Structure 1
Amino acid sequence: MVVRHRIEGGLTDVIGVLEGHRDGRLVVRHADSSRHEIEIAAVTAAKPIPEMPLRRVDVDQLFLTTALGRPAAETVHLGEWLLRASSGWTGRGNSVLPVGSPGMPLSEALERVEAFYRDRGLPPQAHVRLDSPAAAEFQEQGWIDAHPDRSDVLVMHTTLDHVNALPPYDVQLAERPDDAWYGVAFEGPVPAPAPVVLEGAPKAVFASIAVDGELVAVGRGSMTGHWLGIDAVRVLPGHRGQGLAAAVVQGLARWAGPQGGRRTYLEVLESNLPAVTAYRRLGYVEAYRYRYLVSPSR
């Protein structure tokens, strides 16, 4: 809503989400997560603003942004393409990102891609946005679905206004994750490349929530321009269904606002219905979906 009120020397407007009112004051939360308390007696006008539909995103730009928010252990440029390798940990960290032009004919580019991954003992793999020209080009060259038994990965986005409410849990933030954070983030041993990948972004933060002294939920946020990327969200099995994942997202969103963040994205398997439902309730909507393709000569 917008609230016009008297201040010393005149009038001013505050635009944000109305969190409530107490002790004769309105509490309005701004997009940068700051909270404004306004004396009701000073209000001259207030009205709700119809919810704006989410602005369309440049999906190619967002596709690249997601890669920059979680860089691989090794990245080599092939024209505008990114060849990424991380000792085999995660598809995203061990696949070519074909955004833009490779700077050479497609057949030659694919030969370079295959050589890059074979030199590292990895299968040649491409990370493609569904229904994109790049996906069609790779498929025309015989590249096939790497995981036909898995669902699509949804990349969802929204504005920080939708997700930066005060979380119902105490969300702790740290510049570097400790052993306890990794113990919740992974079920079993931590893959050797994981710390390099997760801690490799220029601006990242690690969120955690403890209940009764036990760390039970974690997540990671990274800033790329005005985009907050959220990943590595995990809640211990015995504590799921209690709003902890949403609280992690809210805590990260409140960190991002003062950092210049205005929009946020995350990725989730379409088959993970509880997570998809929770993120939609927070205001996330689908931007695009992706899959991995592998070379026919893998």
Structure 2
Amino acid sequence: MEFTMGGRLEVRITPADVGKRVSVRRRSTGGGSGAEFTDTVGVLTSWNDGVVAITRKSGESVRILESSLVAGKVVPAAPARRRGPAASFAELAAVTARAWQPVESEPLGAWRLRAAGGFTRRANSVLPLGDPGLPLGEAFERIEQWYGERGLPPYIQTATGAEGTQETLCAELERHGWRREVSAEVRIAALAPVGDLDADVSAVRLTREPDAAWLSRYQRFSIPGPHVLRVLGSGPSVWFATVAGEASGAGAGAGSGGGEPPAAIGRCVVDGRWAGFMAVEVAPEHRRRGLATAVMAALARRALDEGASAAWLQVEEDNEGARALYDGMGFAPHHRYHHFRPA
């Protein structure tokens, strides 16, 4: 990382650069005879009372004493991805929201309050795109009130790590006492290579609605009430994939859902050029047999038939197995999203 100008380290950022992407170098704390330095890259989210705050693309907020800075400069946005589809944060935020819609929704300025009886944070959190039409402190109070009236914890979903994401909002949430609970990656890829995966898709059954067998494998609720089915069925063009368990026979899962749950399931929402993959799950006793790959390939081929050309999915940062699987399919991180809740 190059900071020198004419052989000298210089701090070339000021409080006027709040909101811009910066790279800084600071003296590390601790003993030792030689000078040690730490570099930080991210969005400058505040500069107050001698403390500089920078939000990294991971969503982590780093606070740095102004007196420890030895160099700093404004840097351009991260280079455009060289593989996979081109996509903006605004486009992906809209597409991912349409693929997982709440039961109840209400505007707060340009923000959107969403609720679905507590089924998943995504369907029970605020989507803060644009201006809430209120000072942030008042908006946060209104959000807590709205979710409190429904007996739900208040969450706000934010994003970091791409051009146009919400690092400044993340910093404001932390300043008002909200804390990150969960973070995940939004990944994108070209769709055709997913459809071309070497997988036996003959055992994958595709349906327009989740039956009782599919729901028995999707372990995200105790009883699948109407609100669960509303969320799962939301989206422009929704497909559900099922691979029957070995002991259930080829027709397992087609009727009342008797017998053992399916070996594998998945969900895909086709929306214009995008195909979004969700709820890809494989029973523990059936893992490492290529079933997740078969589910993804079968859904991708159906999405290609409907005219889609790009793929997206979301994966939590601590799900190493899924991350490795999607790496092999060509999915690369585009940005991260986070759910904030009052401390």
TM, length-normalised to structure 2: 0.66
Q: What pairs with 1:68-87 in structure 2 (closer than 5 Å)?
A: 68-87=98-117
Query: 1: CA distance between counterparts of 2:169 and 2:273?
Result: 26
What's the CA shift for 1:188? 7.3
Query: 2: CA distance between counterparts of 1:265 and 1:202?
Result: 15
Q: Looking at secondary structure, tell me which structure has more strand per residue.
A: 1
Query: What SS does the corresponding residue of 1:146 show, helix, strand or coil?
Result: strand
Residue identity in the other structure for 2:189: T
Paired position in structure 1 for 2:28 = none
Which of 127, 144, 169 is equivalent to 2:179? Answer: 144
Which of 224, 233, 237 is equivalent to 1:203? Answer: 237
Gaps in structure 1 of 5+ consecutive residues: 1-51
Paired position in structure 2 for 1:110 = 140
Residue identity in the other structure for 1:196: R
What's the CA shift for 1:176? 0.9
What's the CA shift for 1:261? 0.9
Which of 190, 196, 200 is equivalent to 1:165? Answer: 196
Query: 2: CA distance between counterparts of 1:63 and 1:187?
Result: 23
Comparing 260-269 with 58-67, which one deviates more in the overlay? 58-67
Q: Is the 8 A contact 2:190 2:311 kept in 1?
A: yes
Query: 2: CA distance between counterparts of 1:187 and 1:231?
Result: 12
Which of 231, 235, 245 is equivalent to 2:278? Answer: 231
What's the CA shift for 1:82? 1.5
TM, length-normalised to structure 1: 0.75
Paired position in structure 2 for 1:155 = 186
Paired position in structure 2 for 1:265 = 312
Paired position in structure 2 for 1:280 = 327
Query: What SS does the corresponding residue of 1:97 show, helix, strand or coil?
Result: coil
Query: 1: CA distance between counterparts of 2:83 and 2:211?
Result: 39
Gaps in structure 2 of 5+ consecutive residues: 1-81, 253-261
Query: 1: CA distance between counterparts of 2:270 and 2:170?
Result: 27
Paired position in structure 2 for 1:121 = 151
Paired position in structure 1 for 2:16 = none
Query: 1: CA distance between counterparts of 2:157 and 2:220?
Result: 25
Query: 2: CA distance between counterparts of 1:283 and 1:93?
Result: 27
> Residues 135 and 187 from structure 1, CA distance in 2 versus in 1: closer, same or farther, beyond 3 angstroms?
closer
Query: 2: CA distance between counterparts of 1:80 and 1:247?
Result: 40
Deviations 1:175-199 (A, max 9, x none): 1111011112227734433212101
- Whether 1:66 and 2:101 are equivalent positions in the alignment is no
Deviations 1:43-71 (A, max 9, x none): xxxxxxxxx62244212321232111110
What's the CA shift for 1:262? 1.2
Runs of 4 or more consecutive aligned structure 1 residues displaced over 6 Å after TM superposition: none
Query: 2: CA distance between counterparts of 1:184 and 1:66?
Result: 23
Paired position in structure 1 for 2:19 = none
Q: Which has the larger radius of gyration?
A: 2
Q: Is the 8 A contact 1:223 1:261 kept in 2?
A: yes
Query: 2: CA distance between counterparts of 1:292 and 1:187?
Result: 18
Q: Is the 8 A contact 1:70 1:201 kept in 2?
A: yes
Query: 2: CA distance between counterparts of 1:138 and 1:188?
Result: 29
Q: Is the 8 A contact 1:246 1:279 kept in 2?
A: no
Q: Is the 8 A contact 1:221 1:231 kept in 2?
A: yes
* More relative contact order, 1 or 2 (CA 8 Å, 6+ apart): 1
- Whether 1:174 and 2:204 are equivalent positions in the alignment is no
Query: What SS does the corresponding residue of 2:277 show, helix, strand or coil?
Result: strand
Query: 2: CA distance between counterparts of 1:107 and 1:55?
Result: 37
Q: Between the two proteins, what is the percent identity of the paired residues?
A: 36
Residue identity in the other structure for 1:283: G
> Residues 55 and 256 from structure 1, CA distance in 2 versus in 1: closer, same or farther, beyond 3 angstroms?
closer
Q: Is the 8 A contact 2:275 2:312 kept in 1?
A: yes
Cα RMSD for the two superposed structures = 1.9
Q: Is the 8 A contact 1:182 1:190 kept in 2?
A: no
Q: Is the 8 A contact 2:85 2:190 kept in 1?
A: no
What's the CA shift for 1:211? 5.0
Number of corresponding residues: 241
Query: 1: CA distance between counterparts of 2:123 and 2:191?
Result: 27
